[in-house]
Amino acid sequence: MVEGTFSPERIVSVLDGIRKDPRKPRKVVAAMSGGVDSSVAAWLMKEAGVEVVGVTLRLRPCDDDLAVQRKACCGAEDSIHAKTTAGRIGISHYLLDYQDEFRARVLEDAWTEYTKGRTPNPCVLCNRFLKFGKLYTYACEIGAEGIVTGHYARVKPLSHGGMGLFRGVDPVKDQSYFLFALDRKVLETCWFPLGELTKGEVRDLARQIGLTNAEKPESQDACFGVPGEAFADTLRRVLGKEAIPGYFIDSLGRILGPHRGVHHYTLGQRRGLGVALGKRAYVSKIDPTTGTIVLSTEDEELHKSLLEATEVNWLDPSFQKEPFEGWVQVRYTQKPVAARVIPLSTDRIRVEFQERVRAITPGQAAVVYQGNELICGGWIC
C-alpha cells in the first residue's frame, strides 16, 4: 500500500479533470457504503462543483440468526456511517431498499451456480443489476445525470466514439474486473474519481478532509458476508437451502470420505478440505449431480490453455468482429495472461492462452484487456 504520498497537486488535477470534462453533469447520485472510498469519491465530485445526492443501498436480507443480526444485519450500521459521512460532506442522503431485488437477482443466482458445481461471482451481478442498473434508473427518476462510486477504475473517451472502461492507476486496487458487465449506456454516465488515485492517496485525503470515521475494514464481501462464516454458507443459511452432500474421490475413483456440501468448494482449492492424501491435494472436478468432488495431487492437471466464455459484454464493440491479441484475467486476484481472443458470436468468445493457466473455474469471469482498456468480459463455461 502506498502511504504518505498525499500531494495536493494530485487532488487538484483530479478536480480539474472533472471540471473540464465535457460530460460533466449538473447533478449525480453517489452510491455510498459508509467506507472511505465511496465517501471520498462523493466528496471529490462535490468539490468539483457537481450537485451530489448520496444514497445507500440496503441489500442484504435481515438475518434470522440474532447473533448475526447484531454483527451485520441488513447493513443498518453501514447506512448510519454513510449518513454521518454525507452530513459531513454537506450533501443530502437517502436510503434505497433493494433487499428483494438483491435476493432475487444476486443471491438466488449465486446459489444456483453453486448447485451446478460452478463458483459464482455475485459482485459482478450486483454491480450490473443493482449498484449500477437500478441506481441508473433511480438517478434518472430523481433528475440526476450520472452515478459516482468509489471504484478504482477510469472512464475515458474511446478514439472511435463513446466511453470506454480503463484500469485504475493503482495496480493493487484496480477494480475494473468487477465492472465488465456494465451496460454501455450506463457506463457513459459513470464517474470513478478514485481511478486516478492510489489507495494510499485516498486514505490520506480522507484524513485531510476529516472523513476519518470512514476508517472501516475493506468492503470485500461486506455487503453480504458474516465474519467467521464462509460466503457460500451464509448464502445457504439465509436462503434456507439444502447443501448437496457427497464424497471426495481420488483420480482413480476411490472414496476418500464425505465432504460438507459442494458449495464449500472451488476448483483448485487446497485448504479446508479435511482429508489427508499423503501429498497436497487439490479440487480438480466438481460433479453436482452425484455430489462427487475429485481431488488430485497432480497440480499440472489443473492447468489449461483454453477457455470459452458466454454472455460476453463488449465495452469496446470495435473488437467484436475478428480475433485479436489481449491480456485475459480469469480471477480478480490473478495476473493477466497473454492470449488470443476469438469472437465466436456476439456473446461468446474463445480464449487461447500463450501459457497454461491454473484453475480456470466455471462461473467466474474471464475479462479481456488491451493495455489498460477493458475490452470485454464473459462467464467461463
128: left (phi over 0), alpha (psi -120 to 50) or beta: alpha
Determine the size of the site formed for another protein (CB under 8 A): 12
Residues 73, 96, 158, 169: which binds another protein (CB under 8 A)? Answer: 96
Examine the residue annotation and report whether 223 is marked as an active-site residue of this protein. yes
Residue in 62, 73, 123, 126 annotated catalytic? 126
Min separation Cβ 97 and another protein, Å:
4
Residues 7, 13, 69, 92: which binds another protein (CB under 8 A)? Answer: 92
Min separation Cβ 94 and another protein, Å:
5
Encoded one letter per residue, x for contact with another protein by CB under 8 A and - for no contact, window 129-168 reads: ---------x-xxxx-------------------------
Residue 177 is classified by DSSP as G
Min separation Cβ 140 and another protein, Å:
7
Nearer to another protein, 54 or 343 (CB): 54
Residue span binding another protein (CB under 8 A) among the ranges 88-96, 250-258, 262-270, 339-347? 88-96
Is 94 near another protein (CB under 8 A)?
yes
For residue 372, the SS3 value is: coil
11's grid cell: 487532488
User: What is the length of the chain?
Assistant: 381
**Helix H or strand E segment including 306:** strand 303-314
Is 53 near another protein (CB under 8 A)?
yes
Q: Say which residues have a Cβ less than 8 Å from residue 239's Cβ, sequence separation at least 6.
A: 103, 107, 108, 111
Return d(Cα 298, Cα 36) in angstroms, integer: 43
Min separation Cβ 148 and another protein, Å:
17
Residues 33, 38, 39, 79: which binds another protein (CB under 8 A)? Answer: 79
Is 69 near another protein (CB under 8 A)?
no
94 φ, ψ to 5°?
Answer: -135, 155
Min separation Cβ 134 and another protein, Å:
12
- Buried b or exposed e, range 158-181, using 16+ CB within 10 angstroms: eeeeebbbbbbbbeebbbbbbbbb
Nearer to another protein, 53 or 223 (CB): 53
Nearer to another protein, 15 or 96 (CB): 96
Is 97 near another protein (CB under 8 A)?
yes
The one-letter amino acid code at 125 reads: L
Task: Using CA atoms of 368, 370, 371, 376 in order, give the dihedral in degrees to the nearest 10.
Answer: -40
Q: How far is CA 138 from the centre of its chain?
A: 21
- Footprint of another protein (CB under 8 A): 53, 79, 92, 94-97, 138, 140-143
Q: What positions carry a catalytic annotation?
A: 126, 223
